[in-house]
């Protein structure tokens, strides 16, 4: 299922471009630059390391993966709690909730018809899944790999993917900007295949978090925005009588 995709990779590699920032920094009464004396690469490394140490954040992205659009708005914390929504390109929306090491997904009819079943599933199979899961939550199986559904609520996996998927060597620093009202240093990396990665880093000496990463050009342009750092996530598992166990469902199908 598409739900098995690593969350950060799904957000950073698969999203369409959302125009960078809301306004630019202006005025002469600027605060001292917390990155004075640092190279662009060093600022990027510092931002990623700081973000990896966060206890929680919210991730918002929208765009395309494998030729299909997906919108994600998702919050996760270090205790394994998560909640958010996903929207498929062909229509439909799903809620995601995770707590206690278990994650659940509840999609509407259009979502299951667009994404249900294994890759290559027929329209009839996806339709049958839609009927089975109507008004119910799908319980994701636990696993050990990065592509397992459990990764949705695994903050360590998400930031590990961020670390590996975000290029930050050979960057240059441009004019500062604001991201959702927060001053940010703007770092840019041009790739060999025409793609450009731009990272927006909070101008905060204590917590220089990654605020946004944007990719333009290339085959997979995209953006992901991070916010609500270190805010715990309150998630409640769905009632047991509204849950369908994916492992049992797969056993029945086989």
Q: In this predicted model, what pLDDT tens digit does every residue of 106-122 receive, in sequence order?
A: 988 888 877 665 455 55
Beta strands in 45-136 (DSSP E): 56-65, 68-77, 82-88, 93-99, 102-107
Write down the domain spans for the chain: 17-58+166-235
Please report which residue ranges of 35-74 form alpha helices under DSSP H. Answer: 40-52
Structure confidence at residue 63 as a pLDDT band (50, 70, 90): low
Structure-block tokens of residue 83: 């909640």
Mean pLDDT over the full length of the chain: 79
Q: In this predicted model, what pLDDT tens digit does every residue of 212-236 receive, in sequence order?
A: 999 888 777 788 999 999 999 999 9
CB-CB contact of 213 with 223 (8 Å): yes
């Amino acid at each position: 299922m598409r739900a098995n995709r690593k969350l950060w990779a799904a957000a950073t590699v698969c999203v369409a471009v959302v125009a960078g920032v809301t306004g630019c920094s202006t005025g002469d009464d600027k605060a001292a630059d917390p990155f004075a004396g640092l190279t662009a690469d060093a600022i990027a490394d510092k931002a990623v390391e700081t973000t990896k140490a966060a206890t929680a954040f919210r991730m918002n992205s929208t765009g395309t993966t494998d030729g299909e659009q997906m919108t994600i708005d998702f919050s996760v914390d270090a205790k394994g709690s998560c909640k958010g929504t996903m929207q498929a390109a062909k229509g439909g929306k799903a809620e995601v909730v995770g707590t206690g090491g278990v994650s659940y997904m509840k999609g509407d009819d259009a979502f299951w018809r667009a994404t249900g079943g294994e890759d290559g599933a027929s329209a009839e199979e996806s339709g049958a899944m839609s009927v089975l899961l109507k008004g119910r939550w799908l319980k994701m199986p636990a696993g050990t790999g990065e592509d397992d559904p459990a990764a949705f609520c695994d903050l360590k996996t998400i930031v590990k993917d961020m670390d590996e998927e975000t290029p930050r060597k050979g960057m240059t620093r441009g004019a500062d900007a604001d991201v959702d009202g927060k001053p940010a240093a703007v770092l840019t990396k041009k790739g060999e295949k025409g793609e450009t990665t731009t990272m927006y880093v909070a101008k905060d000496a204590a917590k220089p978090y990654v605020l946004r990463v944007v990719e333009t050009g290339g085959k997979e342009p995209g953006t992901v925005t991070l916010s609500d750092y270190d805010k715990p996530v309150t998630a409640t598992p769905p009632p047991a009588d509204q849950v369908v166990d994916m492992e049992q469902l797969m056993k029945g199908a086989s």
